[in-house]
Amino acid sequence: MFGVRGSGDTSGYGRLVVPVLAQGTSDRPYGSYFDSIADELTRTLAAADTAFDDAIESAVVFRGEMTLHVRREHLLQVATHLRNEPALRFEMCLGVNGVHYPQNTGRELHASYPLLSITHNRRVRLEVSVPESDPHIPSLVGIYPTNDWHERETYDFFGIQFDGHPSLTRIQMPDDWIGHPQRKDYPLGGIPVEYKGASIPPPDQRREYN
């Protein structure tokens, strides 16, 4: 349909692969307000007998944004401190985004949580990585109730199981749908689409227009 040749895929995707290079751990000082976030989180975790390095795999500052890569067993603890501590006060979680890195063996599925402090006008991102073979992450609905539908959508499209979610069911795909459509290994096409009585064949069955 878009002139792609040789792959059998007429969706326009053409099996293009763009390599993504992960950013390594940033060194101190981080700059901006990021050092104060790390310092305060270190203090509050220590008060709960948890070392910062035990809870946080790495802190990455890239393009003016800070990402804390959190070990999943410490996610609830870290999120609670970020929300409750007066010097942090990240009162709002803007949802959860799923990411699939099929080449990242043992860490194929990522969940990314952008947090906003309305009190201090600051932002930080939490990220948790899990293997496809064990895609379980604790639900943050008990800490950030607005994550309810966001976690359902990420489960629906990526297959991440949010343990403790009050009703982890599909939210956009039919309940009997097989697979998770936003994983990179999910096949393109193959499903006909209907528009007011007209049936559009799946991409791999459409004719070419050249």
| Residue 209 pLDDT > 70 | no
Rg from Cα positions in the chain:
20
CA distance 94 to 123: 10
Q: pLDDT value at position 1?
A: 45
Tell me: the pLDDT tens digits for 123-173? 999 999 999 999 999 999 999 999 999 999 999 999 999 999 999 999 999
Element (H, E) at 46: helix 34-47
At 97 the three-state DSSP class reads: strand
44, 23, 76, 104: CA torsion to nearest 10: -150
Give the pLDDT of residue 6.
Answer: 58
**How far apart are alpha carbons 69 and 99 in whole angstroms?**
14
| DSSP character at residue 23 | P
The two three-digit tokens of residue 29, written as one number: 């000082």
Pair 172, 153: CB distance under 8 Å: yes
| Domain chopping of the chain, boundaries | 34-205
Position 5 confidence tier, pLDDT thresholds 50, 70, 90: low
In this structure, what are the phi and psi dihedrals at residue 129, rounded to the nearest 5 degrees?
A: -115, 135
Angle (deg, nearest 10), helices 34-47 and 75-84: 110
Decide if domain 34-205 falls under CATH 3.30.460.80: yes
Does residue 206 register a pLDDT over 70? no
> What is the C-alpha separation between 49 and 46, in angstroms, rounded?
5
pLDDT tens per residue, range 77-118: 999 999 999 999 999 999 999 999 988 999 999 999 999 999
pTM of structure: 0.82
- Of all helices (H) and strands (E), which one includes residue 113? strand 109-117
